[in-house]
Structure 1
Amino acid sequence: MNTTGPAGKGLRLNPFRGLRYVPERVGSLAAVTSPPYDVVVRPDGLHHLESADPHNIVRLILPQAATPGDRHRQAASTLSRWLSEGVLAADPEPALYVYEQRDGDMLQRGVIGALALSAPADGIVLPHEDVMPDVVEDRAALMRATAANLEPLLLTYRGEGDATVDAGTPGGSGADVTSGTAAVIARTIGRDPLLATTTEDGFRHRLWSVTDPADLAEIADDLSHHQALIADGHHRWATYLRLRDEHPATGPWGYGLVLLVDTVRHPLRVRAIHRLLHGLPVDRAVAALSGSFRVRTIDGPLSEALDALADAAASGNAFLLAGDGRFHLVDRPDEDLLARTVRADRPAAWRELDATVLHSTLLDHVWRIPDAPEHIAYIHDTEAAVDQAERHGGTAVLLHPVREEVVLDLARQGVTMPRKSTSFGPKPATGLVLRSLTVD
């Protein structure tokens, strides 16, 4: 995933006039930010964000109204009002934005910009997961109504050099970064940032603008040799492509807001996304597995259950069921059952994924649960998945994370994983910089 060939055939990241909160018009920058829309899954989490500040970005990315049309119109009206009232304002000139996230020893830096949307066949941006059409349609309707990219996707690429050369990286000074995007980042972070804030999860965020033509040209030349992997935001990427096809390719809809991170210097964390099965109690879920999987009950705390899941996942497919106050470790699937239920026309790495076995064998064949929002919720936070299952009498299916090299290998082959198979992070905070499609 190092290059796509000659310069000009890779990534094209354009500067844009970012929309940002005016600090004097809000309580604090931390109070108006939010996790990405698909991470805000609990009603109490949504209420918490709405209560943090009347201008919290969640009122744009997850507006609350009776119908989808009303929600999208409300978001558009809210965005227009905040712009007219000076709550949000466009930066005076187009820029790329260096973005830093730090939590203890964890440091991530990347560049936010408007990425030229390439055709999937070009292989410049590699997806690795399937998407849900209803989610894409909802995000598309929201973007049409607001004419804005409200939150950046997280994309990764593999730059040249050593993982310790970035200034601020433990063990490195950045002195040997002589050119390219990493060099521009190293120079930029020596200036005062546009903003700095610490969100309630403990992450410190800083943002700088890059407007110097020489710096922009250096980044453009460097990125033109690279392709990227979608780490987070498959549904928004599919939305970008849909909306691009609805508008002239040369206009602002031909670009989408992204954060590009060089994972040679800043490796991402890969976590699992869990499933909450609304209408399936744990006792019925376990009973249906008789003769097909081994099931063991674990009475210890969640941490011990997750350790047991990790041990089991090291040697084959394994899942953890929760919702009845205990944990049930599910592993050792019947090989004949897998052969009957998992597609044989995919690479072995795809057939052996836990998410593949979960959807093809357990959901489709054993439990017969349709993959629709009224039946299944996708939850990033492990404790939240368990809590919701116990509250509502459903079953939480906890998964072990997929290794990043497996994700990359399948993406290179053009094979997509089942939807919501991975959660890369840390994810960019939503609300620090937005992109209007009418300001460009």
Structure 2
Amino acid sequence: MDADSVVTPPHVARPLRLLPFRSLSLAPRRIGDPASFRALTRKHRGVSDRLRLWEQRGEVFRDEQPALYLHEYVADGVTVRGLVGALDVSRRATSRSEMAIFPHEGIHPAQADELAERMLEMSINPAPILLVHHGVDAARTQLEAVRRGAPLREFTDRGDQQHRVWAITDPAEIDRLADALAPARALIADGHHRYAAYLRLQQQAPSPATNAGLAMLVDQDDTPLYLGAIHRVLGRTGLTAVEQAAERAGIKSERVAAEHAVARLSRERMVATDGQDWITLHVAADSGRAAVEVLHEDLIPLLRHAPSTIGHHHTAEDALAAVQGHHRVAVLMPALDFEQVLSVAAADRLLPEKATSFQPKPNVGVLIRALRDE
């Protein structure tokens, strides 16, 4: 297999199970610190020793009793709540009806292997993958009752995110949550490669610890995550070449004035520019496909010369700045919505890489799972 090939990770089977675990948590002054992020997310043989040293210094808190955790964080005025636990990955789905977790992007096997090796070497799941679903009333009501109690921890981290964490330790309460969540089917919002790494660890180094991987499950109907656009910059590509490829692909294009171009951006319309001239690219509303699919599957393959690079930018300003003075085209993308991404996953399709940006994500270090504690 080509090392750069993109594949669909295996599927975890229902019921969806989040299991209690003993959490490690960094001190607030270390959460949101770039140095802490690098220490926990880059390959390093000394991570376990470093965590023990930080614990001795009072900079790591260890919960002795296994728990599920309700984690609420506020970033830039947006509040998100999620249930954090060890996601059971020990069972594989053999049919679509059995699937508990839906990826919407492919993964590079070599990257997943590297992450699995790193987690095994560090002996931790440094941060939860982010799952999102349409929650059920039973679970929502139960978690609302949890929120009425005193949080286990409440703090503002170094990156100015505000956090509240509640521990759920009562076995009966955990069982009720398990029953409510068993039928759930969740979409991976962030962490496709880490999810695939969990599955590789479970197969290659089977143990109670590797039968699960850290995950946060967010109810999109309670505290919705925001989906931002990720814009494209096509290297060594001209705007005329994009127009010609659009014509060959049956995509309607139209020249527009610069001052009106960005306002034309919509679910059915992309906007492209070389920094001087602007065009819109139309996506058929009845196609059932997202604009990013049309761009990567229909238009880019019909360019007479493939782009030398495809850059990704989270703001239109950054994408437009990247074309100035260069032979490049910026393609401004409409943001997908949650239902669009769900429909792609339900249709057994994968979006191109970096098609979605679910925000805000929690800073690393609030909840860590130590594999040696399992």
User: Which TM-score bucket, shorter chain as reference?
Assistant: 0.7 to 0.9
TM-score by length of 2: 0.81
* 1:288 aligns to 2:238 (yes or no): no
* Number of the residue aligned with 1:58: 38
Q: How does 1:40-79 map to 2 (within 5 A)?
A: 50=34, 54=35, 56-61=36-41, 63=42, 72=43, 75-79=44-48
Partner Cα separation in structure 2 for residue 135 and residue 143 of structure 1: 12
**Aligned equivalents of 2:319, 2:202: Cα separation in 1:** 35
Q: Distance in 2 between matches of 1:119 and 1:328?
A: 48
CA shift, 1:120, in A, is 4.5
Instruction: Note if 1:97 corresponds to 2:69.
Output: yes
308, 315, 330: which one aligns with 2:264? 308
**Counterpart amino acid of residue 83 in structure 2:** V
Question: Hey, what does 1:269 align to over in structure 2?
Answer: 226
Match of 1:169 in 2: none
Contact 1:154 1:428 in 2 (8 A): no
Partner of 2:278: 328
Structure 2 residue aligned with 1:16: 21
**Unpaired runs of at least 5, structure 2:** 1-12, 247-252
How far apart, in 1, do the equivalents of 2:181 and 2:229 lie? 29
2:47–2:122: 8 Å Cα contact kept in structure 1? Answer: no
Aligned counterparts of 1:368 and 1:59: Cα–Cα separation in 2: 41
Q: How far does the alpha carbon of each residue in 1:116-156 deviate from its partner, in whole angstroms, 9 at most, with x for none? A: 01424331111122223343234233223222211111112
Taking structure 1 as the reference length, the TM-score comes to 0.70
Distance 1:200 1:305 in 2: 39
- 8 Å CA contact 2:48–2:123 kept in 1: the answer is no
Secondary structure at 1:289 match in 2: helix
Residue 18 of structure 2 corresponds to residue 81 of structure 1: no
CA contact (8 A) 1:285 1:367 kept: no
Q: Secondary structure at the match of 1:113?
A: strand
**Mapped contact 1:378–1:420 kept (Cα < 8 A):** yes
Structure 1: how far apart are the matches of 2:104 and 2:318?
A: 25
Instruction: State the AA in 1 paired with 2:142.
Output: V
Q: Do the aligned residues in 1 keep the contact of 2:133 with 2:219 (CA within 8 Å)? A: yes
Please, which of 96, 105, 110 is the counterpart of residue 129 of structure 1? 105
**Alpha-carbon contact 1:120-1:126 (below 8 Å) kept:** no
Instruction: Describe the superposition over 1:271-326 as per-residue Cα deviations: whole angstroms up to 9, x where unpaired.
Output: 2222344x42xxx33131243442535534xxx6543212xx43xx524346x4x5
Query: Quick one: which of 203, 206, 217 aligns to 2:175?
Result: 217
SS at structure 2 position matched to 1:288: helix
| Contact persistence 1:271–1:401 (CA under 8 A) | yes
Q: Alpha carbons of 1:308 and 1:115: their partners in 2 closer, same or farther (altered >3 Å)? A: same
Spell out, residue by residue over 1:81-134, the C-alpha distance to the aligned partner (whole angstroms, 9 max, x if none): 232342334321111111112357743212011010142433111112222334
Cα distance, 1:14 vs structure 2: 0.4
Matched pairs, number: 348
In 2: Cα distance, 1:251 partner to 1:392 partner: 53
- Quick one: structure 1 residues 328 and 18, their matched pair in 2 at CA, closer, same or farther if it must change by over 3 Å? farther
In structure 1, the residue matched to 2:350 is 416
- Distance in 2 (alpha carbons) for counterparts of 1:397 and 1:385: 8
Conserved? CA contact 1:160–1:264, under 8 Å: no
Aligned to 2:9: none
Please give the per-residue CA displacement for 1:325-355, whole angstroms capped at 9, x wherever unaligned: x57333148x9xxxxxxxxxxx952xx3222
CA distance in 2, matches of 1:237, 1:246: 14
- Please say if residues 152 and 428 of structure 1, whose CA atoms lie closer than 8 Å, have aligned partners that are also in contact: no
Q: 1:176 aligns to what?
A: none
Distance (whole Å) between structure 1 residues aligned to residue 326 and residue 243 of structure 2: 24
CA distance in 2, matches of 1:287, 1:202: 45
SS at match of 2:238: helix
- Once the two structures are TM-superposed, the CA of residue 379 in structure 1 deviates from its matched residue by 3.5
CA RMSD across the alignment? 3.1
The structure whose residues are more often strand, as a share, is 2
Instruction: Report sequence identity in percent.
Output: 30
- 1:367–1:106: structure 2 CA closer, same or farther, 3 Å change rule? farther
The letter of the residue matching 1:365 is: L
1:1-400 alignment, distance < 5 Å: 9-23=14-28, 28-29=29-30, 32-33=31-32, 50=34, 54=35, 56-61=36-41, 63=42, 72=43, 75-86=44-55, 87-102=59-74, 106-117=78-89, 118-121=91-94, 122-161=98-137, 180-198=138-156, 203-248=161-206, 250-277=207-234, 279-280=235-236, 284-293=237-246, 294=253, 296=255, 298-300=257-259, 305-310=261-266, 313-314=267-268, 317-321=269-273, 324=275, 328-332=278-282, 348-349=287-288, 352-366=289-303, 368-369=305-306, 375-390=309-324, 394-400=328-334
- Once the two structures are TM-superposed, the CA of residue 368 in structure 1 deviates from its matched residue by 4.4
Structure 2 counterpart of 1:400, one-letter code: P
State the SS of the aligned residue for 2:335: coil
CA distance in 1, matches of 2:352, 2:160: 31
The residue identity in structure 2 corresponding to 1:110 is G
Contact 1:15 1:113 in 2 (8 A): yes
